[in-house]
Amino acid sequence: MIHFFPFRGIRPTRDKVHLTASRSYVTYTPGELREKLATNPFSFLHIIHPPTANKLKGTERYLEVRHVFQQFQDKGIFIREDQEAFYLYEQTYQGKTYRGWIGAVSTKDYDAGHIKVHENTLTQREEMFREYLEVTGFNAEPVLLAHRDDVYLEDFARAITRERAEYEFTTTDRILHKLWVITGGSNLEYIRNIFAKHQDLYIADGHHRSASSALLGRGKPANNPAAGCLAFLLPQSALSSKPFYRLLKIPTIESIEDFSRIINTKDLPFQKIDDPDNFEVRTGVLAFDSSGAAVHITKWPERENDGILEKLPTSRLYQNILKPIGGINDDRNDKRLHYEPSTHSFSEICAYMRKKKIQLGFLPPAISFETVMKIADAGLTMPPKSTYIEPKLRSGLIVYPLEHLKG
């Protein structure tokens, strides 16, 4: 069973939430970050990137983060719920709506294998974020988890959305955000009981955050807030999965014509693509150079003993091109290989390649989340950056406090 529980969240006031909640810190360029910090005194970026951030490291920096967060509460920018709550959050972008539940999942479920992974994590990053959580005393970036579709949850969500949302605002990236605060013992118990009937959850985004929260929770009683991980739970059918571009620095291949001559000698059928901007990759892979010239490798050689992992588009690309032609033996750490989400347009990626002097790019087809779940159920891990899962939540929308860390 899944242990999903409410908490007394800390959140921005209704009049400031559109100014406070921010995208993930790593998505801002240095210039964008400077502008946000200079023009918006309410941004959550001031908390996670305090004024002294460039001068402090490790524990000292985390203590400053904690201090600035307390200042935001003292000024009334953030308020604390007077009772435990779950949150129903809805995001609408380009005609698609994502809706799910925000609460805390038990790290004991992660340790027991009921919160399933499909990617490897780095021990150093796990420990770094564990220390961050322990020192700052809060978690403001929910892990994105998928649950199997549930008609009872969907019906309850529809009933809640008939009421006025506590938050309703649109951000400059044209995303409409809505959030409902759910309180009352019977409502909370109903949600908890439904999730208790689910055997597993699947990490869609946030493997390192999940692992770090589990590290923090080990050895602590189940009712200690540190044994919980802030999470956003959606039905698996609602998630959108997109591929990552794989960008390869390989000076020995100067153009797509050079590349085409090489793959022509291998068992890799291809065709030239005249309009790659509007080409949808469903099989094989789209290969292109920084000028935008492109070919579509239409199919991969079949191998009799290949299983579900070996048949993944990202695995095929690595096995047939990146390793034998590109010389990439470690697709996680080789600095010649770059990853960019396909939320960037084809022309933007080509411009980036020219700027960074990257010769070749590859775009595999998307991998469905149903396939991701099968990989996780089999206890396997996918190649790095195999999926870009949406939606992406804003930091600081709901903050999960981690009191009694020494308990």
In the block, which residue shows the tokens 């969907």?
A: 154
Q: Quick one: 379 and 397 in the same domain?
A: no
Q: How far apart are CA 127 and CA 113, in angstroms?
A: 20
**354 in any annotated domain:** yes
- 68 Cβ contact list (under 8 Å, min separation 6): 46, 47, 50
- Environment class of residue 323 by beta-carbon count within 10 Å: exposed (0-12), middle (13-18) or buried (19+)? middle
User: Which pLDDT value is given to residue 52?
Assistant: 81
**93 in any annotated domain:** yes
**407 in any annotated domain:** no
Q: Quick one: 136 and 265 in the same domain?
A: no
Q: Quick one: 254 and 367 in the same domain?
A: yes
User: Which pLDDT value is given to residue 302?
Assistant: 83
User: Which pLDDT value is given to residue 404?
Assistant: 52
**184 in any annotated domain:** yes
CATH number of the domain to which 343 belongs: 3.30.1760.10
Q: Quick one: 215 and 322 in the same domain?
A: no
User: CA dihedral in degrees (397, 178, 391, 360; nearest 10)?
Assistant: -90
**279 in any annotated domain:** yes
DSSP state, 225?
A: G
∠ CA 381-385-386, rounded to 5°: 65
Residues spanned by the domain of 320: 242-389
Q: Quick one: 204 and 281 in the same domain?
A: no
**272 in any annotated domain:** yes
> Does the bond joining 6 to the residue before it have cis omega, within 30 degrees of 0?
no
Q: How far apart are CA 300 and CA 280, in angstroms?
A: 17
∠ CA 313-318-320, rounded to 5°: 95
User: CA dihedral in degrees (141, 145, 151, 153; nearest 10)?
Assistant: -30
Q: How far apart are CA 220 and CA 211, in angstroms?
A: 15
In the chain, the number of structural domains is 2
Residues of the chain with confidence (pLDDT) below 50: 405-407
Type of residue found at 237: S
pTM of the predicted model as reported, rounded to 2 decimal places = 0.92
**406 in any annotated domain:** no
Pairing of strands 86-93, 96-106: antiparallel
CB atoms within 10 A of CB 192: 16
Pairing of strands 143-147, 201-205: antiparallel
Q: How far apart are CA 22 and CA 166, in angstroms?
A: 18
Q: Quick one: 262 and 217 in the same domain?
A: no
Type of residue found at 103: G
Q: In 94-175, where do the E strands start and end?
A: 96-106, 115-116, 138-139, 143-147, 167-170
User: Which pLDDT value is given to residue 407?
Assistant: 38
User: Which pLDDT value is given to residue 106?
Assistant: 97
Type of residue found at 49: H
Q: Report the chain's terminal Cα–Cα distance, integer Å.
A: 25
**358 in any annotated domain:** yes
Q: How far apart are CA 56 and CA 41, in angstroms?
A: 21
